[in-house]
């Protein structure tokens, strides 16, 4: 499933350019004009990342982030500020307010997309307390507890490690060879059947309810996908 981005920009030309370019890159994009609309959009469908203009018609982007923090005890989605204000104090204000990056206008579109991807790699599925969350599936690496829909799931150490890797790379297809390296840290002399076996074990415990999260990509590998809204 493609990452969902929220673009908050009051300039209609730039808003359409950004939205179209990000969709062509493979993201799902929702675009709004004001800070108030941004707050409503996050409440309705929490995005994976917000591209947020600082100068908005109602209140500025810094205030949007402050209000999002007040609304979300587990932290707001990651934010990339986009603004013509390039003074050092503005950059500091943006990052202090809770932004993950700060890009000034005019900007290079390819660089912006690279920065968005970098933020998503750092933050995908992770919460401030270190938990990994995909849909109603929650993994706590500190306590080694896993729940789905609030119900506890007992996993072996290897099953836990496999699920953690899949959740850390949610939305990314991982080959059997990659999983052998990331979970087992060595290969089995070309025998990758152990991966299929453990994915099967994991599915019985994690995917015994709908929607299914762990998917096989035939001829390629496995992916844990966020449920469709």
User: Is residue 17 domain-shared with residue 119, that is, in the same domain?
Assistant: yes
Range in 86-95, 107-116, 131-140, 157-166 the model is least confident about? 86-95
Check whether 103 has a pLDDT greater than 60.
Answer: yes
User: Is residue 50 domain-shared with residue 23, that is, in the same domain?
Assistant: yes
Domain encompassing residue 96: 4-124
Work out the pLDDT band at 108, boundaries 50, 70, 90. Answer: confident
Domain count, the chain: 2
Q: 222 and 179 in contact (C-beta within 8 Å)?
A: yes
Q: 198 and 176 in contact (C-beta within 8 Å)?
A: no
Stretch 73-80: mean pLDDT, rounded? 76
* Among 26, 58, 24, CA closest to 39: 58
Check whether 84 has a pLDDT greater than 80.
Answer: no
Distance CA(137)–CA(17), nearest Å, equals 35
Which residue shows structure tokens 């019985």?
204
User: Is residue 30 domain-shared with residue 85, that is, in the same domain?
Assistant: yes
pTM greater than 0.85: no
Work out the percent of the chain whose per-residue pLDDT is above 90.
Answer: 35
């Amino acid at each position: 499933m493609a990452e969902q981005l929220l673009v908050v920009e009051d300039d209609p030309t730039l808003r359409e350019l950004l939205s179209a370019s990000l969709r062509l890159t493979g993201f799902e994009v929702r675009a709004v004009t004001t800070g108030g609309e941004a707050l409503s959009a996050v409440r309705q469908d929490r995005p994976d990342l917000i591209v947020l203009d600082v100068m908005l018609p109602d209140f500025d982007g810094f205030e949007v982030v402050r209000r999002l923090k007040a609304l979300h005890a587990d932290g707001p989605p990651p934010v990339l500020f986009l603004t013509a204000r390039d003074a050092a104090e503005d950059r500091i204000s943006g990052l202090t307010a809770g932004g993950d990056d700060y890009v000034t206008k005019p900007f290079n579109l390819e660089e912006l997309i690279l920065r968005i991807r970098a933020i998503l790699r750092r933050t995908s599925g992770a919460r401030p307390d270190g938990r990994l969350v995909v849909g109603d599936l929650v993994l706590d690496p500190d306590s080694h507890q896993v729940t789905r829909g609030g119900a506890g799931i007992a996993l072996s150490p290897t099953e836990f490690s496999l699920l953690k890797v899949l959740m850390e790379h949610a939305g990314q297809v991982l080959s059997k060879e990659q999983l052998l390296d990331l979970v087992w840290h060595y290969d089995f002399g070309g025998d990758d059947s152990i991966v299929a076996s453990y994915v099967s074990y994991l599915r019985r415990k994690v995917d015994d309810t709908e929607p299914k999260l762990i998917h096989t990509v035939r001829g390629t590998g496995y992916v844990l996908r966020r449920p469709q809204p």
